[in-house]
Each structure stands twice: as structure tokens, then as C-alpha cells.
Amino acid sequence: MATNYRFAMDQKDIVRVLITTVDGFIRDQLINKEQRAQHREQCAERLAAEDGSCGRETEVRYSDQAVLANLDWGIEALEEAIDTSNMETKLARLDHAEKMLQVCAMLNSNQKTAGVPNFYLSAWAHLNLSYLSKLRNHVQNSVLHVIEMFIVDPFFSRIDFAPELWKQLFLPHMNSIVGWYSEQRHRLVMEVIPDSTDLSFTADLDQFFSESLIYSMRPDQVEKLQKLEQLYGESLDENTRLYAKYFKDCMNSDSTSSKKVIPMLPIAEAPMTPLREVSRSIPDFVKFGPILPKSAGFSPILKSKDGTKESSRMSVTSASSLNLESARWDPQEGIPEEDGDESDYEPNDATVASDHEKESGQKVQLSVTKSRIHTPTIFSPFDSPKTSPKILSPKPDMQGKNEATSVLRLLSTRMTDSAIATSLPASPGMSNEYSISSADSDCELIEAATKGCRKTYSRTGSMNSDNVNSQKLKNSPPNENDEGSQSCVSLPSSKKLTTKSRPPKDFVCPITGQIFCDPVTLETGQTYERKAIQEWLKRGNTTCPITRQPIAATTTLPKTNYVLKRLITSWKEQHPDLAQESSYAETPRYSLNHPSTKENSLPATPQRTNDFLGHRNTDDYINQRNKRFMRAAVSTSPTSVISQAAVETIINGLKPHVSSLCTSENLQECETAVLAIAKLWKDSKADPAVHSYLSELTTVNGFIEILSASLNREVLRTSIYILSELIFSDESVGETLTSVDSDLDCLAVLLKNGLAEAAVLIYQLRPAFAQLSAHDLIPSLVQLILSKNEELDDLQLIMEPKDAALAIIEQILMGGDENSRSINALSVISANGIPALVRCLDRAEGRRSIVSILLCCMQAEKSCRSLIANRIELSPVLELFHAGNDCVRGICVEFLSELVQLNRRTLCNQILQMIKDEGAFSTMHTFLVYLQMAPMEQQPAIATLLLQLDLLVEPWKMSIYREESIEALIEALRRKEFSNSQMMALDALLSLTGRITSSGESYTGAWLLKIAGFDQPYNALMKAEMGTMDEEEKAVTSWQKRVAFVLCNHERGSIFKALEECLKSNSLEMAKSCLVIATWLTNMLSILPDTGVKREARKALLDEFINVLQSSNNLEEKILATLALKSFVNDPAALEALGVYAKCIYKTLRKLKKNSAVANDIMKALMNLSSIDITELWSCAEAVELDSSTNGEVLSLLHVKGRVLSSHSDGTIKVWDAGKKVLRLIQEVREHTKAVTCLYISSSGDKLYSGSLDKTIRVWAIKAEEIHCLQVHDVKEAVYELVANAKVACFISQGTGVKVYEWSGVQKHINFNKYVKSLAMTGPNLYCGCSGYSIQEVNLGKYTSSAFYSGTRKLLGKQVVYSLHIRDGILYAGGSSVDASAGKIFSLPNKAVVGTFVTGLDIQRIAINNDLIFTATKCGVIEVWLKERFTRIASIKMACGGHAKITSLAADMDGGMLFAGSSDGRIQVWSLD
């Protein structure tokens, strides 16, 4: 492309060349996996270095971690797509990578993420998006992404991401800039070279470079050269961006514009025009930007972008700090260069004294050892970027290539353990070895840092708080003599500084005699401990304690001397034992008592947030909590400030009061002594000598006796204050108190009596759980929290009583077993502690304890969730989550997960919306990042919470939050070796259904049973509920559709395979929960849009549902499995698969019919399958045969409510118990004088009607164990057949027509000139089976008759309808066989024939149950017909002797038994399967 630019190119040529060049570059990158890995390692190291330069104290926001994690995940997914050969997997991973990388590509370039400039992250994302587009064969998009990379970040694009591509695309346009830089640099160097007037303008100046030449440069010349190089780099970046935009316009114009608007070709203008033309060849010393090592972070380019310019010269201190700080490059501080053939770096040897050192007349002497000078061009900062620079690490094994891929994720979790580089890149051709000549120079160097650091800090950009990093100092090697190795200026080690007995004198405050904690350097050059010099000045002194020179700033002290502080930190790490002996107090004693530092009191210290290791491990938690009060060394007042005489005066003043406290019998004198002791204690500033004096056992006992005896509130508070102070400084005082149980008893009594300060002392004593629980402190502690704060005059306790109360409650709730936790949590609730705790969330102190307590309360009493949800502000909880460690985040997640399990879906959605609105993107992204890092046991909870937040909107679009959360739940279900994890995932899925009672239990199973027709469990649960409003039911229905849709359609139903494995579990609890979820999902599939996952559900779960149906002994489980199978019935393919199991499940389904209607639906569907042999599904066995011949013929049989009623020709009616499929006679009555020809049951089932030849109709009441006659009606005629209702009785007598008898005694005859043989009644209509094979319909309201059906009359034989039966709107009629048809089946509404009994035998009797029809003939044969298809499936032969015939037939409704009576007085029973 460079050669083509000599001639004019039109737009199409430019686009073609762009596509060819960039496509070739991307293709090479995709082919070379090793180069991609090396590039990723380089970028990751730069990010890690920037993270390390920020300091470990800097906490990265979770939203920033999420962005970095997205970039990491996106690149990983892209690599997986490149490596896989499976096209479906490749496309899926590319989609995932695109979503992840787009997050970084769209970042605001003017901001930072975790200290990393967004333009760097965005450019890196665009580079990977170009690879992704190429894999999709979107060449145009691929080129556009590369161009966008150069627009977003031209600097790192040309030195890190694509240097060779930059040379091809952009360098040919930069000739004027390169020429300008060559000329300007030439002129500057000419000024330095002696006798340069004799040289020509084009002379090769490289041969004149030497170390002496570098040292001879004046400061103004160095500054000019630095400004030139900075301007040169900025010009290259600006014009690179300019041409990249031009290329982008060309691409877009060529591809998208309908009107071809030709973009204007830009011109790269140099900052100033060169005096003459320079050669097109680029000299070796002309480079294209500073080669930043990967460990250099982003400070150089950020400083360049901000335009900051430093005026200080390069000093020994800055040079050494560069080496120590992983080469945080600055254009003002060093000018590194890289040789094109080598990749290791050496530090340059430019060593110039600082301005401050020059002013003070102090210089640091360095002996420079020179070696291997191959090239004099060591001063140019710009090198060809054709090879990626490497980091020279002190320990290369600390970070290998295999670690680079995880650097981003480590960065996002703040695990910055990356390797630390030690120098800036310099010319590889030179090895410079710096060494300090003697120990004296060591001390000189430290003294220079100590005395002159403040001014250097304010004048130089390199001298900041991170100048001396102790970790880097410790890891820096003193010498490396191998090829390409380096040596750096090393700060003096501790062995040079001091003997083994004491620290270096420069590290010790001259006032306190202890190691500095917060050193400040005054304008006099002396350094003091901040607290000591403050006290010196507070006493009215205005001069320096050592030099006695006046101090101008007596009110505002200078900033901390961070350089000295870092040196001390490094020394402490190397000498921890010696440092502890000589240390000044890390936590100044009075910093906790001063009112201005209340927010930093102990309850809110970082240690507080790190001590909770999970409430399930209570003992570990209590042991860790007991360490939350760090023992602070008592700060010694400087001997030059508070004289020993002053201390002795205070002690002498204490003696009479202490004596009075310990020996006086007068309570008032003792109380006065306590107040006086408190005043003197405050005056002593917690002096250790005073503390030691007051810590005597007798004195402590005196204070305890005051607590036991005094009633003065002020004295009690003051005593607690003094004891608290003593315990805080020395824990042994507290051990003295805890050794006697009565001391804790005394404090407990004071607390119960309303003395809030007693809680602080109880907390400091750290009693065991058993001691606390023995005193029933929870009501008093809750009352303390509810009360308003009381001012304690001028006494400032080490912590607020409310914070102490919260901590004690937390300890009580965390201790003991589960039962005791539940009891104690209920005590908090009953004491009305929930509202007070919720209000206290606004305070940062104790917030973690409050969330933990509320969580325990919700777990103990589920119903308090609604109380908390209606009152709580969630922003403090989310703030705690963002700021806390992993343990605290786990508590917050568990709390929020519990909180959203409410019985009102609308309120639950409101809570979720509140969580989501607290920073929308950051909240969900934070949860996503934590999901990836969370412990296994916390993943189901955070996944459920994240999924619910995502489902607040319709789930029609792809969502990474949804995908990751569902994947986490499924992964938990697959962990067979971790049953607890599986149960947590199942519980989480149950909570997702949205059906939760007010007690917090899921009623999804009961709701499914209700759908299946078994509603007893549901009704029992709902009795305690207020009733479900229509709005709530709509919200739940909508919610569960969303949840079921996303769960079922995730990766084409992968959840069903996971549930299949859980259903095979040996745990009954797990299998039951899994069955409920599986049933719920399969049931929801029937109402969700068909997306093709039903097949996956059937393949995974059908066998398991069949297994549950067959093997489970639990009725509810069988019904759930039946409901799940019902969802497969509507799918023809699934129904065919179910038909394979028809024979083995049919019997079970028949038994379930009485409990669940869906069992009948499945049976009907199976019966209608053409592939099913019906005869295989039905069988019967003779159960019993009874001989009642002594009572004559069995004329009628009925089955009602587990009883069988039989009537006999001798006038007897018998009642049989048929409960166990064996008839047992329980009653026999004989009130009719002649044969009882017929029996009839009312529709309500509570009355029996009997007709007899004795011309009476009797009405019977049916009781549990007997029947008894209520009424007797004389109808004047023999009764042969009878039907009745509450108004009339219709019967057949001799002659034609039918008789209608009103219970009032009126009888009517409806004659239609036909002999009636059978009757059936429904509503106001009576149907009569007559001779002539006809059926008459009689309207009992009008007493009119009409022909319902007229059969075909035959010339030969009699055709009669012998039996009529009505069931579910269908009229079954059986009679004489005509043309191989012995009966018809009619639909009553339209009188249409819907079926025919195809048989050659006459039908005398008909009995029907829910599934089958039984027809009996004269010859003792009973034929069995399928009710749904009216097809004959079997026949039964009754063992009738001689010429006996079947006279009666009955069947129970559930289809379990069949009863037949014969003319020879036998009753035969069959068991049906």
C-alpha cells in the first residue's frame, strides 16, 4: 500500500487495498495461535501492572470488575470458537463473545475502568471483534473494527495491537512529520556535540553519542529534547486518528451510501515545516513512539493525553523509583529505547541531581560501571515496534504464559499477584550496572529522601506516594550478570542500615523514640511523628524541637512524607520482629475517643467486615469476632512534651481517689472518687503508666463493686467508661472480669435496668454464647436499639452502645444449634425488633450485623418477610454488598434471596425492581460477576436472584444475565457428589415458580395436585391464607409463564436432562422436590408456545414419570406423575411413546381415577390408540360366589357407597358390605310380603325405593350400616319395574303403558298402546323401552308421550327393549338381537344414534361404570364393552346351573367390581383389573 500511494488512488482502490491489507493481517493473526496468546499475555500484563500501581488499598468497584470480566470472557469465548470444529458450537460461542466484547467496545473513551483507560479496553475489544467478524465472513465489518481501533486509541494500536499494520496503512502518510522530527532532533544534537560547526547537516550523528555526551547536556537541552519527543508522538497519534477516520468514511461511503460522496483526503502536517527536504528513507534513530514495557501501565499515555508537563530534571531518586515501580514511564523522566533484534531491556544511565539537591548542596555519589556499549543511540525514546517488548521480571517463574489468560479475571477479583518488572526498557545493546559505593552513601540516600522528599514530591511527577514500593524493593535482584540482564539502583537493605538491635535512626521519631507511623517533614528539614509534633505545637511551642528554628505553619502541618513511609514499610516487612518491638502505635489510642472520628470507630472498621466467615460455622465466627478489637499499643507521650513529672503528678492525684474507691465504706465517697479518677484519666491522655496503675486488680474490683452498689446513673456510666478504656488498651483486664461470673451478671442486670453503656462493656468482655443465652438479654438489647441516643457528656466510649447491642444480638443468633437460633430469632421478632433494625440500616456502623440478624429472623419465621419488605430501604444493603468481602456479599445475597420469596407476587416484583433500579447496569452486572466467583453453596441463591431481576421484563430477547444464571442452576443440579448443592438448586427453582404461602413455603406441589383434581392438600394450605386476589393470581400466572419459558428453552431443554438425574437420586426429599419441578415444567409446556423442547422433555423424563407411577407408595407422587404424563397426551408422538407403557400403567391409572380426573383422561387417550390391543388392558377374576337360594331368585342388584343391595323373590332385601371385594352380609330385612322385583336409588344417593308384587312401593333411608323403611305406598297394582324422584314414582304393571304415582297418592296411567319392559328417568323425562323395538319419551310435567325411537319390526319373533340405562347424557338401550345388533346407544340432546351393540345375543340387563359397559344375556354370558369406542373387548361366563339365567347386574362406579344375580338365587362377584 505504501508504494501505491505515489500515484493517485480513487476511493474504490483505497477500499480494495484496505480490505486486502487488513484481511491479510487478520488472517495471519487467526492462523497464529501462539502469537495471539503472546499478544493477550502482553495486554494482560499491562493491565495487571496498572492495577498494581494503584496500590492494594484501592478497592475496585464491582461494575468495573464486571467490564474487565466481560472482556476476559469474550476473548475466551472467541478462542473457543476458533478452536472448535463443531459449527453449532462455533456460532454459539461467537454470539456469546460478541455480547461480551461489545460491552467494552462501547465504553466512554474519556473515562477509566479499574484504573485502566477505557480507550485501551475499547481498542482491544475492537481488535477481537475484527477477528470475530472475519470468522463470520463479514470482511467489511472486520475492516471497520480495525479502523475503529486506530480511531479510539492510535497510540497503543501502533505500539501494541497492530504495529506492522500501522506501518503499512499509516506510515506512508507521515513523511512530513518524520522529516520534521529528524531535522529538529538533528539540530538539538548538533548543539551538544563539540565543534559541530565542522559537521554537515546530513552527517551521521550516532557515532558521536557517548555517556559523556549525555551527562554534558544542560537541563534546558534535556527539556527541549523531551518536549520534541512528546510533540512528535502526539502528532503521530493525531494524524493516525485523522487518516483512520478518512478510511472509515471511504468504507462506509463505498458500502452504504446511495449517493457516492467522496471523502476528502486529509494531509498530515508537521508541527512546523522542515527547512529542507529529507530522504524518504527513515533513519534508524527515528522511531514511532515510546516503547512502553508491559508493566508500565497507562500512566505515560494518560499524562500525555492530559497534557501535563513536568519541569524537574532526572534525579537519582526518580531513576531508582522508576526501576522500583515497574517502569511507570514519563516523558520527563527517562528515554528508553528498544533494539529491533532483541527484546530484553536495560536501564539507561542518565543520572542527574535533582533541583532540590542542587539547592541544598547535597549530591548523591554513584559509581557507574560501564560495559558492552554497542550503540550510542541510547537516548531516543522511539523504537520500531515490530517486536513486542518483554518484561524483565526478577522471577520469571512468577508469571508464565499459562497464567496470562487469567490475569483479567484475577484483576477483577483484586487478586493482583502479577509479576513485577524492575526497569524501563533501554537500549539492549548496553548493560549498565549501578551500585552504591558504601554504606555511607546508603545513609546519604535515605537522608536525602527523608529531608528533601517533600519538595521533590511537589515538584516532580514521578515522586508520588508510590515511589518506593516495598514489595518491588524486596523482589528486585541486586545483580544479574547473564546476557541481556540488568542491574538497577537498589535502595539500601536493612542490614546496611542498622544493627540487629535497633531500627535505622532515620526511621525513628526524635520526640517519641519510636518508628514513624505518620511522618511529616517540616520546613526546617526535620521529620517528626504527626501526633507528637501536633502535641508539641498544641502546648504553645512555635519552634522546631531540634533546630529551634521558627515554624511558620503551626496550625496546618505538611502532608505525610510518603517516601519515608514506604521505606519504613519495606523495612518492617524485612524485619517484622524488630519492627513490632519498636513500632509506634498503628492505631493511636485517642483516635477512637475523639468525637471527630466517630465514624471510624471500631464497629465500622475494615476488620469488622472481614470477621464473618459464614453463619453456618458458628464457632469459627465467634472466634473470629472475638478478635475484632485489635490491641492497640498505648501511645507514649513524647518525653519532650509531657514530662515524667506531669505523669507522676497525675498518679499522685489518683492515689487518694483509688484508695477511697478500694477501701471506703461510704458509697458516696466511692462515687466521688470514680468521677475524679475519670477526669484524671482523660487528662493523662491514656498514658501507659496511668493505665498500669489503674489496672491493678483491687482497683478493677472497686469499679465492679460500684457497678453493683451504686444507683447514680452518671457514676455507673463513668465506671463503665473507665473499665472500657482499660480493657481496650489491655485485654488482660477483661480476662480478670470474665473469670468471675458475677461480674457478667452485674452487667446484665444493669443492661436490663436500662443502662445502655453496659452493652459496650459486655461486648468487650467477649462472653461465650452459653453465658449470653443464660441471661435472656435479647429483649433488653432490642429495647436499647429502639431507644434514642443519650449524650454521655464528655465521655466518649470506644463504640456506640447500639453497635455493641447489634454485635451481641448477632453473636447470640449465630451461636448454639438450629433450634436455639430459631428461638432467639423469634425473641427478636416478639420484642418488635424488626422495625428498629430496619431503621438502623441507614447507619453504616453495624450494617452487616443488622442484615445478618434480619436474615436469621426471616429463616426462623418466614412470615416476617413481608414486614421487612414493606419497611426496608434496599440501598444500604446493596452498598454493603458492593463494599463488603465475599462473606459479607454472601450474607447480602442470601438476605435478598429470602426477602423476595413473598406470598404476594406484585410486592415481590416491586422489591426486585427496587434492587434493579439501584444502579441498573451495575447492580445486575455486579451480581453476574459475583455469580462467577461465588462459593458453590451460594451460587443457586445469586443465580435465582439474578434471573428474577432479568425476568422483570418480557424474556423475548437474549440476555447474558439470564443465560449465566440458568446455567449456574443447571450446573448445580448436575453435581451428584454434592447433594446439598442439588437441594439448594431445587429449592431455588421451587421459589422461582412464584407460588409461596405467607409462611414462606412453596405450595407449587399442592397447586399441581389441585389441577389434577386432588385438591385436599391445596385446600388445607389455603385455609390459613387470606385468599388469593384476582390481581395476584394474574401476576403469578404471568410470572410462572416467564420463568417456565426461559428454563425450558435454555439450550434446548437442557434442564430436563439435569432433572432426570435428580429424579434418580436415593434421597426421597430430593426426588420429591425434583418431581414437583419436573411436573410443573411439563405442565407449563402445554400452555407455552411450542418451541420444540417438548420432545427433549419427553426423552428425558417419560421413563422417570412412569417409574414414579409404578413404584411410588405415595399417592401425591403418583398423581403428580400422572399430571406430568397428561401433558404428553396431546402430542401424537409422545402419546405413541406412552402407549408402549400402556399395559403396565393401565391398572395403576384405574386405581387413581377416584382421586384424579387426569388419570381417566390418560386412560381414554390410551384406549383410543389404534396400536393398543384393548383386550390386553382388561382382565377380570372371580372374587366370590354367594348362594342365596333360600331367598329365591335374585331379582335386583344395586351398588351404592361401598354397599350392595339385593332383592329376592321371597320379599327379602339384603345389605352387603363390598369394601374388600368380598361380600359380607350386614343386614337382612323382609317387610314386603311378596317378591321385591325392583330397587332404585335416588339421584342424591340417600334414599332407596323398592317395588314389589305385594302392590306397594316402599321408601327407605340409607344409613352407614343399615336401611330402614320410611314410607309405604299402596299403588293397587303389582310393580315389575320402578324409577322415582322426589315427586313421583313411575312403574310398570300389567297391561300397556306406564303408571305414574305421585307421592301425594294420585296415580295416573299414560297409555301409548305398547307394552313397556324397561324404564329410565332423567330430569322431567321418562324413557320407556317397549315392544316393537321402540322407545317412548314421556314428559312428566305434561304427562304426554312421544316416540323417541321406532325400531324396524320383523315379521317373525318379538323385538323388545329389555333394558335402559342413562349415564352422562347417553341413553344405552339393550334388547332383542336384530340383524346382529342387540342394542343402540343414543345421545339424548339430539336423539342421534352414536353406537350399536354388535352381538347376536339378546341383552337382558345393562350395567355401566366409568370405563366399561356390561351386557348380560339369558344364557349366562356377560359381554364387556369399551365405553369410549363401544367395542366389545371380552366376555364373562357366569356359572349358572341348569336353565338358570342372569336376572340382575350391577357394577361399582370405579370399575373395580362386577356383580351378577341369577334365577337360581346365586350372587357372583368379579374383580376387574
Using CA of residue 392, residue 395, residue 400, residue 404, what is the dihedral sign?
Answer: negative
Average pLDDT, the chain: 75
Which of 86-90, 785-789, 1420-1424 is modeled with the greatest confidence? Answer: 1420-1424
Q: What is the pLDDT at residue 468?
A: 34
pLDDT given at position 253: 76
DSSP 840: H
162 and 35 Cβ atoms separated by less than 8 Å: no
pLDDT band at 1441 (very low <50, low <70, confident <90, very high): low
Residue 495: pLDDT band with limits 50, 70, 90: very low
Report pLDDT digits (tens) over 1178-1207: 778 888 889 898 999 999 999 988 899 999
Sorting pLDDT into bands at 50, 70 and 90, what band is 216?
A: low
Query: In the predicted model, is pLDDT for residue 621 greater than 90?
Result: no
pLDDT digits (tens, 9 = 90+) for 969-1022: 999 999 888 888 899 999 999 999 988 888 778 889 999 999 999 988 888 887
Considering 255-269, 607-621, 1376-1390, the range whose residues carry the highest mean pLDDT is: 1376-1390
pLDDT at 584 over 70: no
Contact assessment for residue 425 and residue 337, using Cβ atoms and an 8 Å cutoff: yes
- State the pLDDT at residue 330: 38
Q: What percent of the chain has pLDDT over 90?
A: 20
Looking at per-residue pLDDT, the higher value among 163 and 40 belongs to: 163
**Maximum mean pLDDT: which of 432-436, 888-892, 1153-1157:** 888-892
Average pLDDT over residues 1128-1149: 83
Of the listed ranges 259-268, 691-700, 828-837, 996-1005, the one predicted with least confidence: 259-268
Higher pLDDT, 926 or 285: 926
Residue 3 gets which letter from DSSP? G
Q: Which among 990, 989, 998 has a CA at the least distance from the CA of 1026?
A: 998
Which candidate, 1408, 1397, 1406, 1385, places its Cα nearest to that of 1455? 1408
- pLDDT of 1252 > 90? The answer is yes
Q: Which residues are 1325's β-sheet partners?
A: 1322, 1339
* 839 confidence band (pLDDT: 50, 70, 90): confident
The answer, yes or no, to whether residue 501 has pLDDT greater than 60, is no
pLDDT computed for residue 614 by the predictor = 38
Per-residue pLDDT tens over the stretch 953-973: 887 778 888 899 999 999 999
Evaluate whether 121 touches 72 at the Cβ level (below 8 Å). Answer: no
More confident site: 515 or 394: 515
Q: What's the pLDDT tens digit per position in 734-752?
A: 887 776 667 788 888 999 8
Which residues does residue 1291 pair with via DSSP β-bridges, in sequence order?
1282, 1299
Q: What is the DSSP letter of 1425?
A: E
Mind listing the pLDDT tens digit for each residue in 399-411? 333 333 333 433 3
pLDDT exceeds 50 at position 1232: yes
CA–CA separation, 205 and 186 (whole Å): 8
pLDDT tens digit sequence for 53-69: 544 445 566 667 778 88
Sheet holding 1281-1284: strands in order across?
Answer: 1281-1284, 1288-1292, 1298-1302, 1307-1310
The predicted structure's pLDDT at residue 968: 93
CA–CA gap between residue 502 and residue 1228 (Å, rounded): 115
Mean pLDDT across the stretch 1441-1455?
80
Rounded distance, CA 416 to CA 51, Å? Answer: 7
So what's the pLDDT on residue 1354?
60
- Which is higher by pLDDT, 1013 or 623? 1013
- Percent of the chain clearing pLDDT 70 (strictly above): 74
Judge whether residue 609 has pLDDT over 50: no
Integer CA distances (angstroms), 1422 to 1115, 1410, 1432, 1437, in order: 33, 17, 11, 6
pLDDT at 590: 34
- pLDDT tens readout for residues 1272-1304: 999 999 999 999 998 999 999 988 889 999 999
DSSP tag of 426: -
Q: Could you read off the pLDDT of 1309-1352 as tens digits, one per residue?
A: 988 888 899 999 998 899 999 988 889 999 988 888 899 998 76
Angle of CA points 744, 748, 752, to nearest 5°: 175
More confident residue, 20 or 367: 20
- Amino acid 211: pLDDT: 53
Which of 227-241, 985-999, 1019-1033, 1415-1429 is predicted least confidently? Answer: 1019-1033
**Would you state the pLDDT for residue 1327?**
95
Mean of pLDDT values over 833-837: 88
pLDDT tens for each residue of 763-774: 988 888 888 888
Burial class (CB in 10 A: 0-12, 13-18, 19+), 172: middle
Q: Across 312-321, 574-583, 1411-1420, which has the greatest mean pLDDT?
A: 1411-1420
